[in-house]
Amino acid sequence: MLTSPSNTLPMRANSILILLYLCVQFISCTSTKKQELVSHRDSSFYKPKYATGFTVKKNEAGTLVEITYPYQGATKGYKYLLISDSLKTPMNDKEITIIRVPLKNIVCTSTTHVPLLDYLGLTQKLIGFPTTDYISSFVMRSRIDSGKVVDLGIDKGMNIEQLIALKPSAVMGYTMSNDLGQLKKIQELGMPVIINAEYLEKHPLGRAEWIKFMALFFNKEKEADSVFRFIEKEYLETQQLAEKSIIKPRVMSGIVYGDTWYLPGGKNYASKLLTDAGSNYLWGDNESNGFLELSFESVYQKAHNADVWIGVGSYESLAEIKASEVRYSKFSPFKKGTVFSYNARKGAKGGSEFLELGYLRPDLILKDLVKIVHPELLPEYQLYFYKQLK
């Protein structure tokens, strides 16, 4: 059995990820006698089923992993050559980072990386994290409380001296632009930096599939495939169940920050989940895959008669919502009490389990949404991430 912080997944005899082979041709330069990684001829190519942000090529020399779209608007990615400790280090393209696998340990910088380790049985591999209070995972919190995970300070201002002292095998981070910021400094200190771009995936199962990416650095491909197949099965079965419903409740989302109402565009990850749950997301026909910035008045005009309001930030009650903006109380979902927050579960230090585990478990999010908009379809199911505000 595979035990996660919150769920137990059945381990079945799944086949290893179809990692096809990378042909790495080393040639000798007569003047320098240096070996260079010059060709990937005759190599096979593995493309994830839903994720679009990484690819894998593999042969007896190692595994070439490419992050094809590391940040919004990127025109160039990052490449990593994963090689065993038993192999000599080749002289290779300077744009390819060589990483020895399996990693002995790792420093991560996003809570979304934590479940990937937990579900692969690699909880003990995390040795450092910026602001450990954000971590919700029960098993990881136990490790933190025992002093085995060092708090490295604020994400964008990590304590470099502490990081150096830890001597991690690699640091996994994310970036919003081609400026890696502090991650660049870490690279210059000789520590391998791995960019994880899961947050850019548009399909919920695409984000979940990044567990296969994490697995590559620890030789855990078979375990990752087993976990992902279970999540995929649960998601697709729930989606098919929701498709049977003829009525599609009208859903609104988001809240006001400052003078602007932020809500998911029609091609956004959140919109996909709402559609797959059998709802009519009122901005579902919008072509944006980001977040829309609208006026209160325009949202009210379109959504005042919505059936359900999903996603209200950190608000914990209807009274709190009304106190922050009295006009919220004019919406039909507020009047009917059909307002739902995703903050039902928080870690010991207040971290959001939804924001941590949700990327890996879209099947649980989808079940929650189906329970909210079509409760008759899942009569015995209890909400996991979401709660109805009173």
pLDDT tens figures, 140-159: 999 999 999 999 998 778 99
Pair 60, 175 in one domain = yes
Domain count, the chain: 2
Instruction: Find the helix or strand (DSSP H, E) in which 63 lies.
Output: strand 62-67
CB atoms closer than 10 angstroms to residue 40: 15
Pair 260, 363 in one domain = yes
247 part of a folded domain: yes
Written as six digits, the tokens of 262 are 């932020």
The pLDDT score that the predictor gives to residue 43 is: 52
The pLDDT score that the predictor gives to residue 155 is: 79
The answer for residues whose C-beta is within 8 angstroms of residue 155's C-beta and 6 or more apart is 109, 130, 131
Pair 207, 343 in one domain = no
Pair 24, 141 in one domain = yes
112 vs 356: CA distance, rounded Å: 5
Pair 248, 307 in one domain = yes
Question: Taking each helix axis from N to C terminus, what angle separates 269-276 and 362-373, rounded to the nearest 10 degrees?
Answer: 50
Give the structural domain span for 79: 2-232
Pair 171, 256 in one domain = no
4 vs 89: CA distance, rounded Å: 36
Pair 100, 176 in one domain = yes
Pair 206, 265 in one domain = no
Pair 228, 250 in one domain = no
Reported as a single tens digit per residue, the pLDDT across 75-113 is 999 999 999 987 777 766 788 999 999 999 999 999 999
152 vs 315: CA distance, rounded Å: 29
**Is the link from the previous residue into 102 a cis peptide, with omega within 30 of 0?**
yes
Pair 141, 202 in one domain = yes
367 vs 389: CA distance, rounded Å: 18
Pair 156, 42 in one domain = yes
| β-strand pairing of 291-294 with 260-264 | antiparallel
Among 183, 213, 232, the domain-final residue is 232
The answer for residues whose C-beta is within 8 angstroms of residue 37's C-beta and 6 or more apart is 24, 25, 26, 81, 90, 91, 92, 93, 96
Written as six digits, the tokens of 52 are 């679009």
Pair 23, 118 in one domain = yes
Tens-of-pLDDT digits for all 390 residues of the chain? Answer: 344 444 444 333 333 332 323 333 333 333 333 333 433 444 557 889 999 999 999 877 799 999 999 999 999 999 999 999 877 777 667 889 999 999 999 999 999 999 999 999 999 999 999 999 999 999 999 999 999 999 999 877 899 999 999 999 999 999 999 889 899 999 999 999 999 999 999 999 999 999 999 999 999 999 999 999 999 999 999 999 999 999 999 999 999 999 999 999 999 999 999 999 999 999 999 999 999 999 999 999 999 999 999 999 999 999 999 999 999 999 999 999 999 999 999 999 999 999 999 999 999 999 999 999 999 999 999 999 999 999
The pLDDT score that the predictor gives to residue 222 is: 96
235 vs 363: CA distance, rounded Å: 4
pTM, to two decimals: 0.88
317 part of a folded domain: yes
CATH assignment at residue 276: 3.40.50.1980
Instruction: Find the helix or strand (DSSP H, E) in which 280 lies.
Output: strand 280-281
By the 10 Å C-beta count (0-12 exposed, 13-18 middle, 19+ buried), 214 is classed as buried
Among 181, 207, 232, the domain-final residue is 232
316 part of a folded domain: yes
The answer for residues whose C-beta is within 8 angstroms of residue 91's C-beta and 6 or more apart is 34, 35, 36, 37
237 part of a folded domain: no
323: nearest Cα among 312, 311, 310: 312
Burial 135-149 (b: 16+ CB within 10 A, else e): bbbebbbebbeeeeb
CB atoms closer than 10 angstroms to residue 207: 23
Instruction: Find the helix or strand (DSSP H, E) in which 260 lies.
Output: strand 260-264
Among 184, 211, 232, the domain-final residue is 232
What are the start-end ranges of the E strands in 161-249? 171-173, 193-195
238 part of a folded domain: no
346: nearest Cα among 387, 389, 388: 387
58 vs 219: CA distance, rounded Å: 12
